[in-house]
Amino acid sequence: MKKQQLVVIGNGMAGIRCVQNILQEDSNAFEISMFGSEPHTSYSRIMLSSVLQGDTSLSDITIRPYEWYKKNGIQLFTGETVIKINTKDKKLITDQNRIVKYDKLIVATGSTPFILPVDGADKDGVLSFRTIQDCERMMDAAEKHTKAVVIGGGLLGLEAARGLLNLGMKTHVVHISNYIMERQLDEQASLMLKEQLEEQGMNFLLEKESAEIFGEHRVEGIRFKDGTSIEADLVVMAVGVKPNVQLANEAGLATGRGILVNDKLETSAPDVFAVGECAEHRGRVYGLVQPLYEQGEVLAKHLCRKKNEGYKGSLLYTQLKISGVNVFSAGEIVPGEGTKAIQYLDESEAVYKKIFFKGNKAVGTVMFGDTKAGPQVLDAIEKNKVISPQDKPELLETPCPENSVAASQALDQSICTCNSVSKGEIIQAVQQGNLSSVEQVKEHTKASSSCGGCKPLVSDLLDYVRSEGFNESVVNEKPLCHCTSLTEDEVVEQIQLQNLSNVKEVMNQLGWIKREGCTTCRLALDYYLGMIHNQHKKWEEEMVFSEKQKAVLQHDGRYAVVPQLYGGELTIDQLKKITNVSERYNLSKLAVGADQRIHIFGINKKDLPEIWESLDMPLRSPYGNRVEPVKTNVGTHDCKCEKHKAQKLARNIERKTELLQTPYRVKMGISSCIHNGAGSTTKDFGAIKVDRTWEIYIGGSSGRNARKAQLLCVVEEDHQVEEMILGCLQYYRKSARYLERTWQWVDRLSLVHIREVLFNQELCEDLLQTLKEDMSLSKTSSP
């Protein structure tokens, strides 16, 4: 099927993150084109302050190099601006007269810096702080001039001022309010921050409103409305940003402060979406990085037709560190009706903590100096936790490492969402590299290297790893085989990201040591490619004899065939066919196997085609990892229970799974009563009729090391048994590793997680639909 054309206007942090998510969800869904007005590949705008402060270089803040776009088949146009969108004809025009058609369009035009409408704002030496060019101009100015004024005492203004101080300029911060960072801090925290920054050499002019910027050609100073003035060789305006909606307005999209979007990030025009700082959702425009990433994740799932709950808005929080000053802010920090607060203040140690409550729930917090309690308060706010009066003061206290939020998280849970770094990855890096600081973790894993909001969590995790109560182990996964250094998960990820479609391509692109691979990796890659690309053609398909699909080679050189008797039931007509074939070809050896099927032995290879034609029956495929015949307790007479329902379930499940490839051989059992005649509790998937309900089990094993299955759930209706088993089987097929047994899969994912997936009606329906599609493709491609 022809891929749809996806065009993204904007190559900034929101646009590139959304595209990354789309590639992870379905790398085959779109042909992607991206337009960026700046002459650069994507970079982290929030890291510009680190460049200005001398902590990192411009090359270090690149998000994705040009090679990444090429590898993923993305057409990138840098230094080219889209000037018109025609939503009726679904095409756009650029400033280079390029016309591009689209099927889906994402507008990620971000925001533009607000420039004060004062006389002299257009003079040389008056800059905003938004782009790489702005950063370079400020560094150039610092080499020739000495006096800088930053207009704006918010987060961006203070970071710019810190950078200019580091460049050797005498720096004043001008702010219209009576205290700095009033959007993130209360007055007490702001005062403490101001004192700390003044000690570092930063100067402040508060409650000042600019009247004009004076000078001949280049700026020489600023005059304020109260009649005072200050000299300046460089003026940096950091007074806020406004959503860039000009293009959207001209295209007729509905706008407010930003481009209006719903929970699916859809605009008012069909097939046009918006993410990032240009989007307005439920009356809010977001300027921090975390909401942008959350929007990108939701939109990617929607575009790739993956079910999700939509975007519900984001909880804003700020983690700021300027030259050793720690500040944390989250949620509601302005007292309102019904809001009460508890606080802690130690002026001698410069520590201030305050938590705002509405009733028994935390709704906001401000912390200065000691921010280690930040993650646990943020966790309480996000999860809407009910907190008793006696427990409220404990939120102010730094938790012991064993009780921290980082300690309670699962190993695969993300610590740094900006760079997708999990708790397990950080623990592994700490243990292998003997890391002891947040900076070292950042260098080795990139955690906290973007927005910095996860620094407290990373710090807590380090404390936890070093504590006596640390008892978690991170398995150092082995490579898939000796042909590669990549683990199975890494191979699967690269197949999806690079859209690799066959075994040879995987081996070539991922640098296989042994060019032809081995039996281990060839079979594993076949399986994973089959899961990712339903129509994947297997490695040895051309070399495999067709009889391998319908006959089993025996030790004496002859063959055996096994008619597929659904549910273990045999009709008179089928029995006659088996008898006639056996007599005609003098096949004296027949046996009823443990799979409750008749096995016909002693067949010569030359007779196979005629025997297949004479039997005219579905035959079991003996090769590969598949779902084996479902065992039932038909034929047992020591119990008078009604067996019809169990037999019907077995037949239905066999018909819907007989050709499916699985990570490992799958055994199933359906028992019609508590006597468990089918051994359902030692099968990979099993069901037992108990009174008026069915108990469903998963993860059992009847091998040498027998293992009892775990109870997944209890259902009442027969169709629920079928749906739950098939849904669970499909989730196993999609998320298990090659040759991973069901019990290993359950141990790795946890029974609770599997229940959460299957008990979600939308997710379960999606699994059943994809299984149906996989089965249909298997029937089409089977010999």
Tokens of 338: 């019904």
CA dist 49 and 54 (Å) reads 9
Q: What local confidence, expressed as pLDDT, does residue 230 receive?
A: 97
> In the structure, how many helices (H) and strands (E) does the chain have?
23, 37
CA 16, distance to chain mean position in Å, is 14
Q: What angle do CA 737, 742, 746 make, to 5 degrees?
A: 90
Looking at residue 444, its pLDDT comes to 85
Give the per-residue pLDDT at 280: 97
pLDDT of residue 779: 63
743 token code pair = 């019990």
Alpha carbon distance 551, 285 (integer Å): 64
pLDDT score recorded for residue 725: 95
Contact 164, 52 (CB under 8 A): yes
Minimal CA–CA distance to 447: which of 433, 25, 377? 433
User: CB neighbours of 712 closer than 8 A, spacing ≥ 6?
Assistant: 696, 697, 698, 724, 728, 751, 754, 755, 758
- Stated as kind and residue range, the H or E segment containing 321 is strand 317-322
Q: Residue 623 burial (CB < 10 Å; 0-12/13-18/19+)?
A: exposed
The CA distance from 530 to 35, in Å, is 34
Q: Which residues of the chain have pLDDT under 70?
A: 1, 320-324, 450-453, 473-477, 534-549, 622-624, 635-638, 640, 704, 778-783
Q: Alpha-carbon torsion 97, 98, 103, 105, what sign? A: negative
Structure tokens that stand for 703 in this block:
């091998």
Contacts of 733 (CB under 8 A, 6+ apart): 531, 660, 661, 662, 663, 771, 774
d(CA 50, CA 413) in angstroms, rounded, equals 27
Taking the model in full, what pTM does it have? 0.63
The reported pLDDT for the residue numbered 325 is 81
Nearest Cα to Cα of residue 101 among 82, 118, 117:
82
Residue 271 neighbours by CB distance under 10 Å: 16
pLDDT at residue number 38: 94
Residues 6 or more apart whose Cβ sits within 8 Å of residue 342: 354, 355, 357, 392, 393, 396
Task: Specify the pLDDT at position 470.
Answer: 84
**Tell me, what's the pLDDT at 636?**
66
User: What does the alpha-carbon distance between residue 486 and residue 478 come to, in Å, rounded to a whole number?
Assistant: 8
Tell me what pLDDT residue 616 has. Answer: 86
Give CA separation, 310 vs 291, 299, 300, in Å: 13, 8, 11
**Residue 299 has what pLDDT?**
97
Q: Is 22 left (phi over 0), alpha (psi -120 to 50) or beta?
A: alpha
